[in-house]
Amino acid sequence: MRDFYPELEPFESGLLEVGDGQQIHYEVSGNPDGKPAVYLHGGPGAGSSPDQRRVFDPAEYRIVLFDQRGCGRSLPHASAPEADLSAVTTWHIVADIEALRSHLGIDTWLVCGGSWGSALALAYAEKHPERVSELVLRGIFTLRHSEVDWFYEGGAAHVYPDLWEGFVEPVPEDQRDRLVEAYSRLLNNPDPAVHVPAAKAWSRWESSTVTLLQDAAMIAQFTEDAFAVAFARIENHFFMNDGWFGDGQLIAEAARLKDIPSVIVQGRYDMCTPATTAWDLHRAWPEAEFRMIADAGHSLKEPGILDAVIEATDRFAR
List residues binding ligand STX (CB under 6 A): 42-43, 46, 115-116, 141, 206-207, 210, 272, 299
Give 62 or 157: the residue with its C-beta nearer to ligand STX. 157
Question: In sequence order, what are the residues at sequence separation of 6 or more whose Cβ sits closer than 8 angstroms to the Cβ of residue 47?
Answer: 41, 67, 68, 71, 72, 73, 227, 230
Give 30 or 43: the residue with its C-beta nearer to ligand STX. 43
Give 30 or 42: the residue with its C-beta nearer to ligand STX. 42
Q: What does the alpha-carbon distance between residue 207 and residue 151 come to, in Å, rounded to a whole number?
A: 12
Exactly one of 57, 67, 96, 270 is catalytic; name it.
270
Give 43 or 70: the residue with its C-beta nearer to ligand STX. 43
Q: What does the alpha-carbon distance between residue 237 and residue 283 come to, in Å, rounded to a whole number?
A: 29
Question: In sequence order, what are the residues at sequence separation of 6 or more whose Cβ sits closer than 8 angstroms to the Cβ of residue 105?
Answer: none
Kind of pairing between the strands at 61-66 and 109-115? unpaired
Exactly one of 79, 115, 208, 299 is catalytic; name it.
115
Q: What does the alpha-carbon distance between residue 84 and residue 13 come to, in Å, rounded to a whole number?
A: 25
As to burial, measured by CB atoms within 10 angstroms (0-12 exposed, 13-18 middle, 19+ buried), residue 314 is middle
Cα angle for residues 304, 305, 311 (degrees, 5° grid): 90
Minimal distance in Å, beta carbon 238 to ligand STX? Answer: 9
Kind of pairing between the strands at 289-293 and 262-267? parallel
The type of residue at 82 is E
Q: What does the alpha-carbon distance between residue 30 and residue 113 come to, in Å, rounded to a whole number?
A: 18
Question: In sequence order, what are the residues at sequence separation of 6 or more whose Cβ sits closer than 8 angstroms to the Cβ of residue 110?
Answer: 35, 36, 37, 38, 61, 132, 133, 134, 135, 136, 313, 316
Minimal distance in Å, beta carbon 152 to ligand STX? Answer: 8
Catalytic residue status for 270: yes
Q: What does the alpha-carbon distance between residue 267 and residue 212 come to, in Å, rounded to a whole number?
A: 10
Give 64 or 210: the residue with its C-beta nearer to ligand STX. 210
Minimal distance in Å, beta carbon 47 to ligand STX? Answer: 9
DSSP label of 11: S
Give 36 or 45: the residue with its C-beta nearer to ligand STX. 45
Catalytic residue positions, numbered: 115, 270, 298
